[in-house]
Amino acid sequence: MTGARRKEQKRLEPNTQGVSLTLRVRYFETDQMQVAHHAHYFVWFEAARSEFCRVRGIDYAAMERAGYFLPIVEARCRYRTPARYDDEITIRAHVTERTRRTLKMGYIVLRGDAQIAEGETIQMLVDRDGKPRSFPPEIAARFDAS
């Protein structure tokens, strides 16, 4: 079992290129400190994750219709420099580890060449009832591709 799991698990070489999404900080996303509110970075990570899936040919909406869900079980972010209204920022999302049932992704937030934040999420594949499931091989392969 452990062996089976090991084979499934894939510690990826850090590939911070991953898939990039560029967006502008919305006025709605600022707070009275006149910077983007920290909670929105997790929304941007998610938007980059959606883009990652699209680029890799993973139809996440279809996955949910088929009964596979990827809820976040852990999330963190480190904020270095504030992002401001209308800033054009780029979020790079990449897979850092995939096990049979979990997906760890890393994110880098860039403004121009400056790295202004970085973060990580861990997701667990579950079915409609919240029970853990194993990644179908064809989905796993798309997450693991480099």
Q: Closer to a second copy by CB, 8 or 58: give it.
A: 58
Binding of a second copy at residue 77 (CB under 8 A)? yes
61 binds a second copy (CB under 8 A): yes
Stretch binding a second copy (CB under 8 A), from 4-12, 56-64, 98-106, 137-145: 56-64
In what helix (H) or strand (E) does residue 22 lie, and over which residues does it extend?
strand 19-24
**Cα(113)–Cα(140) distance, integer angstroms:** 32
Among 39, 41, 43, 48, which Cα is nearest to 16's? 48
Closest CA to 103 of 142, 62, 64, 51: 142
Output the smallest distance, CB 27 to a second copy, in A.
5
Contact flag: residue 55 with a second copy (CB under 8 A): no
Residues 126-145 that bind a second copy (CB under 8 A): 130
Chain residues 79-108 in contact with a second copy, contact rule CB under 8 A: 79-80, 82, 84-86
Q: Compute the C-alpha angle 144/20/87, nearest 5°.
A: 155
Whether 104 and 121 have beta carbons less than 8 Å apart is answered as: yes
d(CA 24, CA 77): 19
24 binds a second copy (CB under 8 A): yes
Considering only 8, 42, 58, 100, the residue that binds a second copy (CB under 8 A) is 42
CB of 32 to a second copy, least distance (A): 4
Between CA 73 and CA 61 the distance in angstroms is 19
Report the interface residues with a second copy, using CB under 8 A.
24, 26-28, 30-35, 37-40, 42-43, 46-47, 50, 54, 60-61, 64, 69, 71-80, 82, 84-86, 130
